Amino acid sequence: MTADPVADGTADPAADPAADRTAELLAFLRRRLTGDYEVDEFGYDAELTDKVLLDLLRPLYRHWFRVETAELKHIPDEGGALVVANHAGTLPVDALMMQVALHDEAGRALRLLGADLVYQLPVLGHLSRKTGHTLACPEDADRLLRKGELVGVFPEGFKGVGKPFSERYKLQRFGRGGFVASAIRAGVPIVPTAIVGSEEIYPKIGDLPSLARLLGLPYLPITPFFPLLGPLGLVPLPSKWMIEFGEPIRTDEYEPGAADDPMLVFNLTDHVREVIQQLLDQLRLRRGHAFPPFL
């Protein structure tokens, strides 16, 4: 065949890619086992995220949900920006898919702002920090944006991710607009983002509120397959996903002090919400059926 690395004379036979990979893997393992790696002040372990954790998510991203992205040009190549997206799907799988999309297709590490519940739970809390995310609070948001990070936020919070299937693709109320205030303080653009597909992965058709309260959870969903099929019911349905990034909304025209003007913050919050709802409606039409060959 033509692609023989030894025959073409440029490659050193010793430096064959398999040996390189092995050496690289050994170096990686040595660093991990001796603790010789860096995490940032939020606990973000970039090496572990890139080399291990995202690898585990990629099959889900590529083959299960067949995620397509659009208008990636709206994500700045560098510097701070705030990605604001709709939140749905009972479990926050959309956050993970958006992280893979931005890492693989825009080359940016996404730093999400999560609910405090996440950080109270064992395993989940530290995995969330290791993959770059932190608590949704103004101090952390400001700090990340000042450092020029790409920060992601789901202003609907639990209201969005835990809404019933009948309300799919209807944006819920956007909290207090704290994310807008943070963007204004840092003078970074807001990138409105629509995620289509997450609504169908676990169609929530019921809720067990008293059991949820007992477990300290915001809701405990009933889906067509959960808890009916037990753990099998936890497999997400393979809906077709699309993620579109909208045109950035600039905030650098405002004085940083404008972050303390509630009217301005509310108006801008409403504007962002309307833009996302429009994007969402258009993108949903473009996607068509959630489960293409069948439905």
Partner 1 sequence: MTHTVLVTGVSRHIGARVASVLAADPDISRVIGVDAVSDAGPDSVSDAGSDVASDGLSPPPGNRDDGTAGRIEYVRVDLRSPDIAQVIAAADIDTVVHMSLVSAPSRSTGRAAMKEHNVIGTMQLLGACQRSATVRRVVVRSTTAVYGSSPRDPAVFTEDLEPHDGPSHGYAKDAVEVEGYVRGFARRRPDVTVSLLRFANFLGPGVDSPLTRYFTQPVLPTVFGFDPRLQFVHEDDAVEVLRRMATEDHPGTYNVAGAGVLLLSQCVRRAGRLSLPLPSPAFRLLGTAVRRAGLVDYSPEQLRLMSHGRAVDTADLEAELGWKPKFSTGAAFDDFLRSRELRPLVGGAHL
Q: Which phi and psi (to 5°) does residue 194 adopt?
A: -115, 135
Distance between CA atoms of residues 181 and 68, nearest Å: 31
Smallest gap from Cβ 79 to partner 1, in A, equals 20
Smallest gap from Cβ 153 to partner 1, in A, equals 15
Smallest gap from Cβ 124 to partner 1, in A, equals 8
What residues are paired with 243 via a beta bridge?
69, 195
C-beta closer to partner 1: residue 52 or 229 = 52
Torsion on CA atoms 193, 155, 59, 121, rounded to nearest 10: 170
Smallest gap from Cβ 45 to partner 1, in A, equals 8
Exposure string of 271-281, with b = 16+ CB inside 10 Å and e = fewer, is ebbebbbebbe
C-beta closer to partner 1: residue 183 or 201 = 183
C-beta closer to partner 1: residue 124 or 229 = 124
C-beta closer to partner 1: residue 116 or 247 = 116
Q: Which residues are at the interface with partner 1 (CB under 8 A)? A: 30, 32-43, 45, 116, 119-126, 129-130, 134-135, 137, 139-140, 143
Distance between CA atoms of residues 7 and 108, nearest Å: 38
Smallest gap from Cβ 210 to partner 1, in A, equals 24
C-beta closer to partner 1: residue 35 or 257 = 35
C-beta closer to partner 1: residue 42 or 165 = 42
Distance between CA atoms of residues 71 and 83, nearest Å: 13
Total Cβ atoms within 10 A of residue 26: 10
Alpha helices in the chain, H assignment, sequence order = 17-34, 46-48, 54-59, 93-106, 116-120, 124-130, 138-146, 158-161, 178-186, 209-215, 262-287
Smallest gap from Cβ 184 to partner 1, in A, equals 19
